[in-house]
């Protein structure tokens, strides 16, 4: 159980790091894209691709975190505060829910929505870390 708890804690920091980097890339993309149309060969499109992959990695790490947390829960490794579960579920659910909300047609609007999702994932992750293991 200690090994699983260590993985759970390590993965939480990975989510924060990858989510924070994804947030920064999203902001950079918004600044570079301002008032432009983007071709597939444009470097700005490469930034969007990095942003998309960052969101995918953040979501996969969040899902893995939920698996670790679920296993800990089943092994009677309960969190000290019930809010830990709430913030953990937010980390898991924010990206897919906001992905469905965005229509995938208006690129700038979608990047804004997904950048906000990355911000909320990082914030919910910090709050989950603050509520303890």
DSSP for 52-92?
A: HHHHHHHHHHHHHHHHHHHHHHHTT---SSTHHHHHHHHHH
Give the tens place of pLDDT for each residue, 15-27. 999 999 999 998 9
Q: What pLDDT, on a 0 to 100 scale, did the predictor assign at position 53?
A: 92
CB atoms within 10 A of CB 105: 7
Give the tens place of pLDDT for each residue, 89-129. 888 888 888 888 776 666 777 888 888 888 988 988 888 88
pLDDT of 37 over the 70 cut: no
pLDDT of 38 over the 70 cut: no
């Amino acid at each position: 159980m200690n090994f699983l708890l260590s993985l759970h804690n390590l993965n939480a920091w990975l989510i924060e790091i990858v989510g924070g980097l994804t947030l920064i890339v999203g902001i950079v993309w918004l600044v570079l894209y301002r008032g432009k149309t983007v071709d597939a060969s444009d470097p700005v499109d490469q930034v969007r691709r990095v942003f998309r992959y960052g969101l995918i990695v953040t979501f996969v790490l969040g899902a893995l975190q939920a698996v670790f947390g679920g296993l800990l829960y089943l092994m009677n490794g309960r969190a000290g505060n019930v809010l830990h579960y709430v913030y953990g579920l937010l980390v898991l659910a924010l990206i897919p829910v906001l992905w469905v909300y965005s229509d995938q047609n208006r690129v700038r609007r979608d990047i804004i929505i997904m950048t906000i999702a990355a911000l909320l994932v990082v914030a919910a992750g910090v709050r989950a870390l603050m509520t303890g293991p």
